[in-house]
Amino acid sequence: MNNLNLRKIMEEKEINTYNIWHPFSNLQKNYFNQLVINEGEGIYVYDNNKKCYIDACSGLWNMSLGYNNTRINNYIKKQLDKLPFCSLFEHTNSTVVLAANKILDLLPRYMNKLMFTCSGSESNDLAIKCIREYWHILGQPNKNTIISFNKSYHGTYYGSMSISGITQRENKGYNPLLSQIVMKEVPSDLYSNEDNKVYMQKLVSYIEEYHHQIAGIIIEPILTSSGMEIVPCEYINEINELCQKYNILVATDEVALGFYRTGKAFYFYNTQLKPDLVCMAKGINAGYLPLGAVAFSDKVIEVYKNNKSFLSHGSTQAGNLLACSAVIGALEEYKEQNIQRNVENVSTYLLKQLKEKLVYHSNVKSVRGVGLLISIDLVNASDHDKTLEEVRIAHIQNVLAEEGLLVYRSMIGLLLFPILTITIEEADKITKIIENVFHNYIF
Ligand code: PMP
């Protein structure tokens, strides 16, 4: 297929006939193969023609236990019959307390308090506010700079956008963003050792010079939206040490990685990171209802407590009882199904299979994975230094969908976020579809 035809097919998909303004969509043209998905069961979703797809995106990385999970459904139904909502501004509720307890049980012992939010974006906004407020309470209002990573993504609210490297680069019409945010290049598995040393040295020098102004750092340890760039653990450990040394708060964004996506309950357990704040969402209740949360260390809580200060945050719907009942169901499922072990076993197998089947292909640069988060990095067949054009990656995504597999598109290739319950047989099905599609084409 020549370039022009391809572009025509992809770009002429008019979507402005629908009444929904889809997130991040261009009303004139869209690369997405918009499906009407109306049903789901296990790892499968079905469109309006009853065509079946394996959902290797886990919805939008959140439906980690798949669709129509009986236990989660029952928890939600029971709660619905009992009480759907309780204002946490004024009261409390046993479902909310139990959900919070269950999440805190997965976190380090020095984290004993959690605030619910409505989304990952809100969790990161709350983290920014808390980090700044902490130093304000301690009488150091000028210690308000937040460091974040160049290729990070933290969400779409003004705070979370401001700390998102991806958003900052785009310089959109909604600027200005928050001030006192400093973006830093960070080492990753996609750079050479020499480059990584340079980036780290620059970060170290910056922190050493300006630490008295730096309130906190927000770490996205795998820069997932940028294309799954993995910050090597030794660098995360080094950043952690620096932050301890210079009294800089550390928040880690576990929105995409938390709740067993990479094996352990939270990704930071693979490192020596001792976060003061953990931001979460997505897998918190396996995507069944909107919910996020931030967990706080005792160190942070003590400052608020001792100074009789209150945390300036809260939204009406955060901690909705149905969403919290789904947390209880999801966490029971993660535990009883031993999801951690399943992720460790199936991910090793799936990654090996995909590598074996794709390594020869002239569009495939590499296949990388951390748990059930796998990137197929794509390049031009004739120039391996060039990432495959977005329109071509979108085309592959569409062909895979036609063959019954939904995958996510990143800036450098395809991302797989399979549902965490997948079996070896289901992993084989995923590999087979990808293998067939790549076998038939050079893109
Ligand atoms: N942080 C990270 C690391 C994310 O991947 C995302 C969503 N992709 C967010 C924050 C934002 O979460 P939400 O879409 O729930 O606001």
Cα–Cα distances in Å, from 79 out to 16, 72, 205, 297? 38, 11, 52, 30
Question: What are the pLDDT digits (tens) for 206-256?
Answer: 999 999 999 999 999 999 999 999 999 999 999 999 999 999 999 999 999
Rounded to an integer, what is the distance from CA 335 to the centroid of its chain?
21
Best mutation site among 154, 277, 288, 417 for ligand 1 pocket (most ligand atoms within 8 Å of CB) = 154
pLDDT of residue 322: 98
Q: Which residue is listed with tokens 């200005």?
A: 176
Distance of CA 208 from the midpoint of ligand 1 (Å): 30
- pLDDT tens, 323-356? 999 999 999 999 999 999 999 999 999 999 999 9
Residues 276/298, Cβ–Cβ less than 8 Å: no
Distance 442 CA to ligand 1 centre (A): 33
Closest atom of ligand 1 to 225 CA is: 5
What is the CA(185)–ligand 1 centre distance, in A?
20
Residue 176: asked if its preceding bond is cis (omega within 30°), the reply is yes
153 Cα–ligand 1 center, Å: 7
pLDDT class of 266 with cuts at 50, 70, 90 = very high
Q: How do residues 413-425 score in pLDDT, each as one tens digit? A: 999 999 999 999 9
How far apart, in whole angstroms, are the C-alpha atoms of residue 215 and residue 385? 39
Tell me the per-residue pLDDT of 77-118, one tens digit each, with 9 for 90 and over: 999 999 999 999 999 999 999 999 999 999 999 999 999 999
* Distance from residue 383's CA to the centre of ligand 1 (Å): 33
User: From the alpha carbon of 119, which atom of ligand 1 is closest?
Assistant: 15
**Which atom of ligand 1 is the closest one to the Cα of 160?**
10
- 359 Cα: distance to centroid of ligand 1 (angstroms): 31
* CA distance linking residue 309 with residue 175, whole number of Å: 31
Handedness of CA 137, 139, 142, 145 (dihedral sign): negative
pTM of the predicted model as reported, rounded to 2 decimal places: 0.95
Helix 298-306 and helix 120-137, axial crossing angle in degrees, nearest 10 = 50
- Ligand 1 is surrounded, with C-beta below 6 A, by 119-121, 124, 153-155, 220, 224-225, 253, 255-256, 281
For residues 443 and 388, the answer to whether their CB atoms sit within 8 Å is yes
> Which ligand 1 atom is nearest residue 155's CA?
11
Pocket test of ligand 1: the residue of 116, 128, 153, 162 to mutate, having most ligand atoms within 8 Å of its CB, is 153
**What digits encode the pLDDT tens for the residues 268-320?**
999 999 999 999 999 999 999 999 999 999 999 999 999 989 898 999 999 99
Q: Which atom of ligand 1 lies at the shortest distance from residue 281's CA? A: 15
Read off the pLDDT of residues 360-393 as tens digits, 9 standing for 90 and up: 999 999 999 999 999 999 999 999 899 999 999 9
CA 301 to ligand 1 centroid distance, Å: 25
**Whole-number pLDDT of residue 172:** 73
Say if residue 167's pLDDT is above 80.
no
Distance 256 CA to ligand 1 centre (A): 6
User: Does residue 151 register a pLDDT over 60?
Assistant: yes
Burial of residue 29 (number of CB atoms within 10 Å: 0-12, 13-18, 19+): middle
Structure tokens at 82: 């009992």
Q: Which pLDDT score, from 0 to 100, does residue 400 have?
A: 96
Closest Cα to residue 232, out of 279, 193, 182? 193
pLDDT band for 9, please (50, 70, 90 cuts): very low
Mutate which of 118, 121, 230, 410 for ligand 1? The one with the most ligand atoms within 8 Å of its CB, which is 121
CB atoms within 10 A of CB 290: 18
Other C-beta atoms within 10 Å of 138: how many?
14
Which one is predicted more confidently, 145 or 384?
A: 145
Q: Give the atom of ligand 1 at the shortest distance from the alpha carbon of 122.
A: 16
Q: How far is the CA of 283 from the centre of ligand 1 (A)?
A: 11
How many CB atoms within 10 Å of residue 386? 11
Give this complex's ipTM.
Answer: 0.99
Q: Any idea what the Cα angle at residue 222 is, between residues 217 and 119, rounded to 5°?
A: 70
The rounded distance, in Å, linking the Cα atoms of 330 and 287 is 9
Q: What pLDDT was estimated at residue 443?
A: 77
Q: How confident is the model at residue 30, as a pLDDT?
A: 62
Residue 121 CA to ligand 1 center (angstroms) comes to 6
Q: What is the largest CA-CA distance in the chain?
A: 67
Choose which residue among 282, 317, 370, 410 to substitute to test ligand 1 binding: the one with the highest number of ligand atoms within 8 A of its C-beta. 282
From 122, 148, 255, the mutation candidate for ligand 1 (largest count of ligand atoms within 8 A of CB) is: 255
Cβ pair 297, 305 in contact under 8 A: no
- Evaluate whether 43 touches 426 at the Cβ level (below 8 Å): yes
Over 90: is that where the pLDDT of 171 sits? no
Q: Whose CA is nearest to atom 8 of ligand 1?
A: 256
CA 306–ligand 1 middle distance (angstroms): 32
- Give 218 Cα–ligand 1 centroid separation in angstroms: 13
